[in-house]
Amino acid sequence: MNKTLLLLFSLISAPGVHAQWKAQPLTKEQRAVMKDSATEPPFKNEYWDNKRPGIYVDRLTGEALFCSLDKYDSGTGWPSFTKTINDKIVETKLDLSLLGERTEVRSKTSDSHLGHVFDDGPKDKGGKRFCINSAALKFIPLEDMQKMGYGKYLSLFDGQTSH
């Protein structure tokens, strides 16, 4: 079985994958970011300045990755978060491909490139900056979370406001 078919089969049969994500076509940029570990342009991507409450999910699998409550303006031009919703759904790898040593963030379920994590985030929030490509994400607005199958994450917003 070739690698593309194997990847497609593993995505379709993976536990926790929402049905609506299985057949979503990718743009050229999304494929370059998620499969070839490319980086989209700063300040010219879909979510860098999104301030709406909701969650950000893996564009390939629909797995919940980040919450808008943990998003902040890092001044870099990419969506930046202080933490993931669940550390068990992402993995980090050493990246020596550009500008020295960095830590890559990947989705465990889809094995796709999400971005990088740095230790220059807000100290009062743990000091991490997850610098993530919009092309790897899909935003689910708070008001749509229940109907799109993300009701279990609504408790993240109890008594909270988005940044």
> Residue 64: which CATH number?
2.170.150.20
Tens of pLDDT, residue by residue over 59-103, are 999 999 999 999 999 999 999 999 999 999 999 999 888 677 899
Structural tokens at position 104: 């890559």
Cα(142)–Cα(18) distance, integer angstroms = 17
Q: What is the pTM of this model?
A: 0.84
Does 131 participate in catalysis according to the annotation?
A: yes
Q: What radius of gyration do the chain's Cα atoms show? A: 15
Q: Which H helix or E strand runs over 117? A: strand 113-118
Whether 128 is covered by a domain: the verdict is yes
Q: Does 147 score more than 50 pLDDT? A: yes
- Which one, of 53, 66, 55, lies nearest residue 114 by Cα? 66
Whether 20 is covered by a domain: the verdict is no
Whether 51 is covered by a domain: the verdict is yes
The one catalytic residue in 34, 90, 117, 131 is 131
Number of domains, the chain:
1
In the chain, the percentage of residues whose pLDDT exceeds 90 is 76
